[in-house]
């Protein structure tokens, strides 16, 4: 039996580590509920043993430590966390306690009018404090440890729904808005799909994706990810008469263009509050962001002040948290899947359970550190959770019900498909066996990797080879016909006889397959690069590369710095300016989408023997290694729209707005939304409004639809 002291120290270490993983590394090691339960345990022990108090205990402090590479600044007012519970009765208790506290100090309050509470959905995002001075956005800080947070202004400034300037006459000199930045659910799915394509680790949930996004030094990442923000409080306020209550504050913020939730409701009794909780539980499944509970607060700021705060959280606010849907099941097996980039991912198979309306039998275990941390065995009773419609997670192991002789799960010592040695990064350490590590099969000939690569290569969004699906690839690979490299696909026509002998491969099917293969030869460099499963080179990066380089030779002969984004370092930028000259070209040159590290990896691949052999073979077999995009860019250089910045407004009779924008872009134009002095042409349809008058005042060239149609016709469209 460990002593109380041991247990307290153990819990503190565990929670600190979990906090760090959650806040700083954006890779949680335990579920929220597990964390909250351990925290409650620690709080109970600490109150029994005041002699063991520690000002740095996770029960006193709020979040994780700020990461390196960011400026860390003090919060003007600390960002406390909100007390929370999973229990409705505790909400009722809190309400009567709060009413009593307010009534006790002001007898009339309870007697004359009831306390007004507000209920709103608790967004599962990343908390921020945004400071405006004289109406200007000054900075956005993360919560950090509650006292100090990281300056993430560069990322937050990219949020389109958040105003950077407020009417200075309508706001106090200092206004700190607190709220939650989040990634919309659809956006989360899109990002994970893209990461999967690029062979990157998936984000576990939208909150991690959001934290991962705003912790990027490069703000273009955040800009590309369509973040949202919803305000839910205030920090420093130089004029407290700005709003006497939270509901009035929200009205004012909303009017200033700062988003607040539309699902806020007022309540004066415990029953009304519990009803609101149930109502929000229903509607939250239709929201476009993840929610994990309901926040209940006292509306009046004067009453909030009267109630005050403990060292950890304010007394005037509490969160009811929805339990994630979670069910027990039996772990049947763990297999080790080899992906197309060689990364090995353990995947759990358990007895089927119904979670959030769907049958679930698998969950990814992410990495082997997680297996060791949970001491997972085959046959274990485990709990699987599906929080907010997201990917199922194995969240707990019930070790005291472990069957005798249950088999421990060990990471494969070598590649489960080919037996080759694995690259383990970072190396496993005896000191911390729960360290998360990535295992990768380094054998380029690994059959499992080759199969995954071929399936990917032939896929619809890649080379789109009609007739070459998974089953055909497996059938061919099981026969004598060689199919180990992408180039082998383009020699299949020389094995027609052997193909005919395969099961369920009639004459017609083979013709279709060979025609599909022939067609795919002309997809061009962009599609080809994006189809090869090269690490860090997904669809969008490949496309960007193809825009910059006319063909494979140009790409392979390019210097490393040409693959890097301009923002990486000033030297490469200067060098680029000297070498390329004009600024316009400069813009094109850097948009390859590769970061510094990934550019290095890709560069090394391009210059490897393996890459040379692959591209040589593909080229000899007639696969097009030139870049379509690049060709088109040259062809459009003469169009009247080339390098023009164009804005569309009003109703156009013969063109759908989105189609027209795409068409103009294909002719070399840049289509933007708002008029500025950089706008070259405004295309104005009927009922054009403020954009037209602004264009007139700025002296921007204005075209009507007739002129547009004529110019398009001249460009052959
Ligand atoms: Zn292998």
Let me know whether 181 and 312 are in one domain: yes
Tell me, in angstroms, the distance from the centre of ligand 1 to residue 199's CA.
16
70 assigned to some structural domain: no
- What pTM, to 2 d.p., does this model score? 0.52
Tell me, in angstroms, the distance from the centre of ligand 1 to residue 341's CA.
10
Q: Which domain holds residue 646?
A: 639-714
Spatial separation of the C-alpha atoms in residues 636 and 578, rounded to whole Å = 26
Spatial separation of the C-alpha atoms in residues 25 and 573, rounded to whole Å = 31
- The residues that bridge with 398 in the sheet, in sequence order, are 381
Tell me, in angstroms, the distance from the centre of ligand 1 to residue 143's CA.
43
- Domain with residue 102: its CATH number is 3.30.470.30
Let me know whether 341 and 409 are in one domain: yes
Tell me, in angstroms, the distance from the centre of ligand 1 to residue 452's CA.
11
Spatial separation of the C-alpha atoms in residues 584 and 668, rounded to whole Å = 12
Structure tokens at 430: 């005896």
pLDDT at site 593: 55
Neighbours of ion ligand 1 (CB under 5 A): 415, 417-418, 420, 441, 443, 446
Pairing of strands 136-142, 126-133: antiparallel
Spatial separation of the C-alpha atoms in residues 523 and 587, rounded to whole Å = 25
Tell me, in angstroms, the distance from the centre of ligand 1 to residue 370's CA.
22
Q: What is the DSSP string of 519-534?
A: HHTTS-HHHHHHHTT-
Tell me, in angstroms, the distance from the centre of ligand 1 to residue 355's CA.
34
Pairing of strands 148-150, 136-142: unpaired
pLDDT at site 560: 77
Tell me, in angstroms, the distance from the centre of ligand 1 to residue 338's CA.
7
670 assigned to some structural domain: yes
Tell me, in angstroms, the distance from the centre of ligand 1 to residue 455's CA.
16
Q: What is the DSSP string of 22-74?
A: IIISS--SS-HHHHHHHHHHHHHHHHH-GGG--TTSTTTS-S-PPPTTS-EEE
Query: What are 615-656's pLDDT values in tens digits?
Result: 999 999 999 999 876 666 556 666 788 778 898 888 888 777
Instruction: Determine if residue 26 is left, alpha or beta; phi over 0 gives left, psi from -120 to 50 gives alpha, anything else beta.
Output: left
- Domain with residue 687: its CATH number is 3.40.50.10190
Let me know whether 149 and 271 are in one domain: yes
Tell me, in angstroms, the distance from the centre of ligand 1 to residue 579's CA.
43
Residues of the chain with pLDDT under 70: 1, 19-27, 54-69, 104-113, 199, 356-357, 387-390, 429-430, 433-434, 564-597, 629-638, 716-717
Is 165 annotated as catalytic? no
Query: Which among 100, 122, 252, 521 is annotated as catalytic?
Result: 122
Is the peptide bond preceding residue 426 cis, with omega within 30 degrees of 0?
yes
Tell me, in angstroms, the distance from the centre of ligand 1 to residue 115's CA.
66
76 assigned to some structural domain: no
pLDDT at site 365: 87
Of the candidates 418, 441, 464, which is a domain's last residue? Answer: 441
Spatial separation of the C-alpha atoms in residues 484 and 451, rounded to whole Å = 8
286 assigned to some structural domain: yes
Spatial separation of the C-alpha atoms in residues 421 and 416, rounded to whole Å = 10
Let me know whether 366 and 429 are in one domain: yes
Let me know whether 507 and 654 are in one domain: no
- Domain with residue 13: its CATH number is 1.10.287.610
Let me know whether 468 and 374 are in one domain: no
Spatial separation of the C-alpha atoms in residues 340 and 360, rounded to whole Å = 24
Tell me, in angstroms, the distance from the centre of ligand 1 to residue 343's CA.
9
Spatial separation of the C-alpha atoms in residues 643 and 625, rounded to whole Å = 26
Spatial separation of the C-alpha atoms in residues 397 and 34, rounded to whole Å = 12
Let me know whether 511 and 543 are in one domain: no
Let me know whether 301 and 331 are in one domain: no
24 assigned to some structural domain: yes
Cβ count near 238 (within 10 Å):
13
Query: What are 62-107's pLDDT values in tens digits?
Result: 323 333 467 889 999 989 889 889 889 999 999 999 998 887 545 5
72 assigned to some structural domain: no
Q: Is 91 helix (H, G, I), strand (E, B) or coil?
A: helix
Let me know whether 540 and 621 are in one domain: yes
Tell me, in angstroms, the distance from the centre of ligand 1 to residue 335's CA.
14
Of the candidates 288, 303, 321, which is a domain's last residue? Answer: 321
282 assigned to some structural domain: yes
Tell me, in angstroms, the distance from the centre of ligand 1 to residue 520's CA.
28
Count the alpha carbons within 13 Å of 174 in the hemisphere toward its beta carbon: 9
67 assigned to some structural domain: no
User: What's the total number of domains in the chain?
Assistant: 6
Tell me, in angstroms, the distance from the centre of ligand 1 to residue 451's CA.
11
Phi, psi (deg, nearest 5) at residue 269 = -125, 160
- Domain with residue 500: its CATH number is 1.10.150.20
Of the candidates 595, 611, 635, which is a domain's last residue? Answer: 635
Spatial separation of the C-alpha atoms in residues 124 and 495, rounded to whole Å = 56
Is 684:649 a contact under the CB 8 Å cutoff? yes
Is 481:530 a contact under the CB 8 Å cutoff? no
Pairing of strands 265-267, 117-123: antiparallel
DSSP code, position 413:
S
- Of 446, 457, 515, 510, the C-alpha closest to 486 is 457
Tell me, in angstroms, the distance from the centre of ligand 1 to residue 421's CA.
8
pLDDT at site 56: 53
Let me know whether 187 and 283 are in one domain: yes
Let me know whether 451 and 575 are in one domain: no
Let me know whether 333 and 346 are in one domain: yes
């Amino acid at each position: 039996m460990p002593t109380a002291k041991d247990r307290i120290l153990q819990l503190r270490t565990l929670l600190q580590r979990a906090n760090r993983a959650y806040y700083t590394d954006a890779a949680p090691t335990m579920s929220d509920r597990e964390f909250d339960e351990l925290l409650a345990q620690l709080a109970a022990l600490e109150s029994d043993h005041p002699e063991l108090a520690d000002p740095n205990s996770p029960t006193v402090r709020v979040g994780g430590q700020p990461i390196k590479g960011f400026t860390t600044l003090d919060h003007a007012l600390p960002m406390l966390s909100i007390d929370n519970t999973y229990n409705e009765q505790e909400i009722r208790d809190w309400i009567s306690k709060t009413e009593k506290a307010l009534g006790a100090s002001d007898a009339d309050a309870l007697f004359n009018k009831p306390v007004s509470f507000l209920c709103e959905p608790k967004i599962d995002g990343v908390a921020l404090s945004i400071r405006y001075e004289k109406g200007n956005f000054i900075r956005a800080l993360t919560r950090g440890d509650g006292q100090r947070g990281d300056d993430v202004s560069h990322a937050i400034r990219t949020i389109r729904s958040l105003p950077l300037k407020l009417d200075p006459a309508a706001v106090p000199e200092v206004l700190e808005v607190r709220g939650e930045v989040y990634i919309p659910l659809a956006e989360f799915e899109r990002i994970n799909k893209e990461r999967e394509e690029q062979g990157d680790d998936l984000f576990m949930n939208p909150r991690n994706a959001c934290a991962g996004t705003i912790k990027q030094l490069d703000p273009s990442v955040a800009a590309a990810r369509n973040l949202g923000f919803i305000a839910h409080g205030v920090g420093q306020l130089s004029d407290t008469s700005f709003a006497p209550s939270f509901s009035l504050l929200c009205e004012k913020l909303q009017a200033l263009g700062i988003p607040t939730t539309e699902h806020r409701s007022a309540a004066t009794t415990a029953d009304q509050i519990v009803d609101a909780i149930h109502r929000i539980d229903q509607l939250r499944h239709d929201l476009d962001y993840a929610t994990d509970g309901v926040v209940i607060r006292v509306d009046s700021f004067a009453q909030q002040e009267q109630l005050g705060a403990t060292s950890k959280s304010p007394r005037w606010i509490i969160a009811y948290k929805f339990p994630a849907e979670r069910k027990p099941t039996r772990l049947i097996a763990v297999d080790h899947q080899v992906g197309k980039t060689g990364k090995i991912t353990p995947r759990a198979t358990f007895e089927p359970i119904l979670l959030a309306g769907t049958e679930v039998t698998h969950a990814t275990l992410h990495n082997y550190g997680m297996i060791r941390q949970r001491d997972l065995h085959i046959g274990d009773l485990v709990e699987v959770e599906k929080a907010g419609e997201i990917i199922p997670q194995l969240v707990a192991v019930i070790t005291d019900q472990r069957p005798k002789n249950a088999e421990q799960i060990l990471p494969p010592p070598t590649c489960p498909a080919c037996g080759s040695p694995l690259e383990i990064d970072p190396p496993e350490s005896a000191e911390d066996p729960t360290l998360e590590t990535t295992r990768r099969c380094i054998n380029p000939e690994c059959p499992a990797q080759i199969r995954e690569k071929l399936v990917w290569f032939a896929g619809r969004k890649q080379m789109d080879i009609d007739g070459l699906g998974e089953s055909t690839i497996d059938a061919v690979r099981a026969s004598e016909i060689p199919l180990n490299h992408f180039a082998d696909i383009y020699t299949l026509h020389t094995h027609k006889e052997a193909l005919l002998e395969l099961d369920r491969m009639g004459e017609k099917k083979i013709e279709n397959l060979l025609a599909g293969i022939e067609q795919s030869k002309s997809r061009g460099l962009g599609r080809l690069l994006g189809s090869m499963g090269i690490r860090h080179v997904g669809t969008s990066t490949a496309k960007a590369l193809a825009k910059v380089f006319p063909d494979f030779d140009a790409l392979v002969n390019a210097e490393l710095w040409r693959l890097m984004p301009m923002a990486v370092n000033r030297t490469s930028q200067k060098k680029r300016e000297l070498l390329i000259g004009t600024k316009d070209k400069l813009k094109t040159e850097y948009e390859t989408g590769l970061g510094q590290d990934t550019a290095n990896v890709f560069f090394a691949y391009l210059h490897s023997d393996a890459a040379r052999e692959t591209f040589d073979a593909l080229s000899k077999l007639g696969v097009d290694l030139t870049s379509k995009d690049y060709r088109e860019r040259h062809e459009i250089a003469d169009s009247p729209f080339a390098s023009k910045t164009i804005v569309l407004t009003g109703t156009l009779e013969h063109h759908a707005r989105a189609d027209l924008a795409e068409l103009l872009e294909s002719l070399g134009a840049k289509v933007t939304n708002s008029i500025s002095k950089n706008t070259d042409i405004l295309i104005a349809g009927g009922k054009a409004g403020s954009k037209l008058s602004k264009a007139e005042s700025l002296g921007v060239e204005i075209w009507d639809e007739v002129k547009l149609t004529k110019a398009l016709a001249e460009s052959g469209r």
